[in-house]
């Protein structure tokens, strides 16, 4: 029997990570934060002084990641980096290296390995379109750029990082353009995906909607 997968794709700071974690927790499913894999590769590159244009070196870093997702904690080679990978410098670097074919290829099999019984909730930008095209439920979650900038601002301030709203808005617009216009696995709703606009929804409301859609497909 095919292990069920729920994919939740969407742009930066749309809330998909929070929703995915809650849905996975409710269903007792494994969780894949695919964006974290690119951030972990970026963090490794920045710490190693690797040039962000050196595709072979970055692919080697990606293929050698030693990652453990432990609830909301993320461990890289045994070191907790949950907050470190959320720094804006890491996010910007991750968005750039995610456009590289060799890096994406290096992470494909790794992402597939998260598909374990009783099921998986995978969040990212190409989970429903590229990585798990046979997913039982595909969700495309979005929100206005203003709402997303406000969420990111609160997230950064809450973690003790400096933040500037105008800079965040500009960065999100640039990332949206980079993610949607790239030739490889561009950000877009998967065929048959349910669209969920969360600008004015609470996390509880968004989670409830995803669970309702999942039950409606026969689970």
Is 82 contained in some domain? yes
Radius of gyration of the chain (CA): 16
Is 113 contained in some domain? yes
What is the spatial distance between Cα 141 and Cα 201, in angstroms, rounded to a whole number?
11
The residue assigned the tokens 């039950």 is 215
Question: Is-contact 144 134, C-beta < 8 A?
Answer: no
Is 49 contained in some domain? yes
Q: How many residues comprise the chain?
A: 219
Strands 194-197 and 79-80: unpaired
* Segments forming the whole domain that contains residue 64: 5-210
| CATH code of 31's domain | 3.40.50.300
Count the neighbouring beta carbons within 10 Å of the beta carbon of residue 150. Answer: 17
Is 191 contained in some domain? yes
Give yes or no for residue 173 having a pLDDT over 90.
yes
**Structure token digits, residue 103:** 């890096």
In sequence order, what DSSP letters do the residues of 23-41 get, joined into one string? HHHHHT-EEEEHHHHHHHH
Q: For the chain, give the percent of residues with pLDDT over 70.
A: 99
Checking phi first, is residue 5 left (phi over 0); if not, alpha (psi -120 to 50) or beta?
beta
What is the spatial distance between Cα 148 and Cα 198, in angstroms, rounded to a whole number?
9
Is 215 contained in some domain? no
- Residue 1 pLDDT level (bands cut at 50, 70, 90): low
Answering whether pTM is above 0.75, one says yes
Is 219 contained in some domain? no
- Tally of structural domains, the chain: 1
Is 117 contained in some domain? yes
Is 216 contained in some domain? no
The residue assigned the tokens 């203003």 is 146
69 HSE (CA, 13 A, CB side)? 23
The model's pLDDT over 110-147, given as tens digits with 9 standing for 90+, comes to 899 999 999 999 999 899 999 999 999 999 999 999 99
What is the spatial distance between Cα 96 and Cα 160, in angstroms, rounded to a whole number?
24
The residue assigned the tokens 């997702």 is 69
């Amino acid at each position: 029997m095919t292990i069920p997968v729920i994919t939740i794709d969407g742009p930066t700071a749309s809330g998909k990570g929070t929703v995915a974690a809650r849905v996975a927790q409710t269903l007792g499913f494994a969780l894949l934060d695919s964006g974290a894999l690119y951030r972990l590769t970026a963090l490794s590159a920045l710490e190693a002084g690797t040039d962000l244009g050196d595709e072979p070196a970055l692919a080697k870093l990606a293929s050698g990641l030693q990652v453990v997702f432990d609830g909301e904690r993320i461990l890289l080679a045994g070191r907790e980096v949950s907050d470190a990978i959320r720094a804006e410098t890491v996010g910007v670097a991750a968005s750039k290296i995610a456009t590289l074919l060799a890096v994406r290829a290096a992470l494909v099999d790794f992402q597939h390995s998260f598909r374990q019984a009783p099921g998986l909730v995978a969040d990212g930008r190409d989970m429903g379109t590229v990585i798990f095209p046979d997913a039982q439920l595909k969700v495309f979650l979005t929100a206005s750029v203003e709402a997303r900038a406000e969420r990111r601002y609160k997230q950064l301030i809450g973690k003790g990082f400096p933040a500037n709203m105008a800079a965040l808005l500009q960065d999100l617009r640039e990332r949206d353009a980079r993610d949607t216009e790239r030739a490889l696995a561009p950000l877009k709703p998967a065929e048959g995906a349910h669209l969920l606009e969360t600008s004015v929804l609470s996390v509880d409301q968004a989670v409830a909607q995803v669970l309702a859609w999942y039950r409606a497909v026969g689970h």
